[in-house]
């Protein structure tokens, strides 16, 4: 990779990290950057996105644990279930055509976006 590509990639990673710190979904933005602008294949971008998530999740876990906000019994069960599910999903993703994965991811993003737009928290007032 040349310096220009490295610089733009680093800037995109930094921006996605800052945005994910606000809870906006920096990992999703990183996927869009890698596939649409950096020319990565879908599977490689997914793998990097998972690696990108690990240090941010570890930092969040340490911060929450420092403030005694972690129920370790629940956390260990969730981590075990997550590891099993991630392994099975990674195995299944190797068997599925990349075009189908892209379409599925797009449908998922549309569903989540529409759910967020149309969801009203309980107890909220509607404008009259």
pLDDT digits (tens, 9 = 90+) for 19-74: 766 666 777 777 888 888 888 888 888 888 888 778 878 888 899 999 999 999 99
Tell me how far CA of residue 52 lies from CA of 21, 29, 47, 74, 122, in angstroms: 13, 12, 9, 24, 34
Q: pLDDT category, 128, cuts 50, 70, 90?
A: very low
Mean pLDDT check: name the lowest of 28-32, 85-89, 122-126.
122-126
Tell me the percentage of the chain whose pLDDT exceeds 90. Answer: 16
Residue labelled with tokens 């759910």: 115
Rounded average pLDDT over 92-111: 87
Cβ atoms within 10 A of the Cβ of 83, count? 10
Per-residue pLDDT at 67: 93
Tell me the percentage of the chain whose pLDDT exceeds 70. Answer: 89
Q: pLDDT category, 11, cuts 50, 70, 90?
A: confident
Indicate the DSSP class of residue 126: P
> Which one is predicted more confidently, 117 or 52?
117
Per-residue pLDDT at 125: 59
Mean pLDDT of the chain: 82
């Amino acid at each position: 990779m040349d310096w220009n590509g490295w610089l733009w990639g680093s800037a995109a990673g930094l921006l996605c990290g800052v945005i994910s710190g606000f809870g906006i979904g920096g990992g999703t933005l990183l996927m869009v950057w890698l596939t649409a602008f950096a020319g990565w294949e879908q599977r490689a971008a997914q793998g990097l996105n998972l690696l990108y998530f690990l240090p941010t999740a570890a930092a969040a876990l340490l911060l929450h644990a420092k403030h005694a906000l972690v129920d370790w019994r629940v956390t260990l069960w969730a981590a075990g279930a997550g590891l099993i599910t991630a392994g099975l999903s990674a195995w299944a993703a190797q068997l599925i055509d990349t075009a189908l994965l892209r379409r599925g991811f797009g449908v998922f993003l549309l569903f989540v976006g529409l759910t967020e737009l149309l969801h009203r928290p309980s107890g909220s007032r509607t404008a009259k």
